[in-house]
Amino acid sequence: MRAVLGLCLVFLTARAPGALSLSTHVAVIHPQDPVLRIGSNLTASCWVHPDLGIHASSLYWTLNGQQLPGSLYRVLSPTNLSVTLGALSASRQTSGDNLVCHNHKGHILAGSCLYVGMPPEKPVNLTCWSRNTKDLTCSWAPGGRGETNISTKYKLKYKLRWYGTEKECKDNSHTLPYSCSITQDLHLFTPYEIWVEASNQLGKAKSDVITVDILEVVTTDPPSGVMVSRVGQLEDQLSVRWEAPPALKDFLFRAKYQIRYRLEENQDWKVMDDVGNQTSCRLAGLRPGTVYFVQVRCNPVGIYGSRKAGIWSEWTHPTAASTPHSERLMTGSCDSKSSGDSNSTLRRELKQFFGWVRKHAYGCSSMSMKLYDQWRVLMQKSHKTRNQVGSPRG
């Protein structure tokens, strides 16, 4: 806090030559650097050394560079002028507001920093995660409105649940605000009790204590080597393949994956939740001749036999691929009315069957996928043959 106080105000003091020693102030403001609650009243006084020959009635006050009205002043003695400020607002910055005493020529005689704010409230939203079991990082949010308007310290504290001494997290270099990482002496098979303490010159507050098992909050890097490709000439499918996160290859775990994809011209993602622990997936029911963006993420489930899932990784960078153009759209189709009622009935039945297969083969499920592939190839060949037969010969 002292380092902050020094940033509040730098001022020059006028001295009467030969009247004072270098170690004596020409003027003093009392109280010096007070810390007050929002809404408080303050009466400050500026005492001037008698040897300066300055009468208090010639002095004036400024707050953050703005002169305060004379109606707030009171001459306490020939060398002492006070000012009373009511219902103080929050400090503009945590380094304090400048309250300054001037002589009639505008020279600065003395200054004080005002710190007006609130005591901290109970920190909230304390949550923790472990990157590949190599650390334990926790983040939180200040309680209440969040801003105390004065310098407030937050300390992340922890201890092993059933034994061990209380420790304080020291690594605050994380990019997230209000966070800290525990990087040494991690215990993978013993839960931690973790909490946050907040303090400033107006008070203290403590968060709820949470219990964290590192193996239940593990997150990892996104999957690597994502590849998206066509499935032959099937116009409404794409194949997605990827590799497990490299950092977890030596761990006993069963990964769970999610895929999401979107159209090139659309920002809305569609998420596939049924991927399971396989490292490949077939996206079906896509639009022919269309560019898609695909992403994959990983959840490390059951590391070292833990019963709970971990935390989802970040999504991989988008990988783009396009579905083949539909031959029906490129060449047109011929649906002759002279085919007869039997052909019409057959087409209707086939259409119903195709809809059933398409519905059940949607996503990454392997159910009926082989039959679906065969059916799609047969349908494309059938359309292509009918188009060739129905086209006029030159």
Burial class (CB in 10 A: 0-12, 13-18, 19+), 35: buried
pLDDT tens digits, 191-243: 999 999 999 999 999 999 999 988 889 888 899 999 999 998 888 999 999 99
Residue ranges, CATH 2.60.40.10, the chain: 27-117, 124-216, 221-322
**CATH fold of 221-322:** Immunoglobulin-like (2.60.40)
Distances (CA, A) of 294 to 206, 215, 325: 44, 29, 19
pLDDT tens digits, 59-105: 999 999 999 999 999 999 999 999 999 999 998 887 889 999 999 88
**Tell me, what DSSP letter sits at residue 123?**
P
Torsion sign, CA atoms 180, 181, 187, 190: positive
Structure tokens at 193: 């009790």
pLDDT tens digits, 230-242: 998 888 999 999 9
245 band by pLDDT with thresholds 50, 70 and 90: confident
299 HSE (CA, 13 A, CB side): 19
Alpha helices, DSSP H only, in the chain? Answer: 2-8, 327-331, 341-360, 369-390
pTM for the model: 0.66
163 band by pLDDT with thresholds 50, 70 and 90: confident
**Residues 147, 150, 155: CA angle, nearest 5 degrees:** 75
Options 2.40.50.140, 2.60.40.10, 3.20.20.80, 3.30.70.80; CATH of 27-117 = 2.60.40.10
Q: Which residue has the tokens 């092993």?
A: 160
Class of 124-216 per CATH? mainly beta
pLDDT at position 114 over 80: yes
Alpha-carbon distance of 24 to 18, in angstroms, equals: 12
The count of other CB atoms within 10 Å of the CB of residue 55 is 14
Alpha-carbon distance of 182 to 217, in angstroms, equals: 14
Region 20-49: mean pLDDT is: 83
Q: Which residue has the tokens 């489930």?
A: 301
pLDDT, the chain, mean = 79
Is 256 within 8 Å of 308 (Cβ atoms)? Answer: no
More confident residue, 343 or 128: 128
Alpha-carbon distance of 289 to 228, in angstroms, equals: 15
Structure tokens at 118: 């609130």
Q: Which residue has the tokens 């396989």?
A: 278
Indicate the residue type of 131. Answer: R
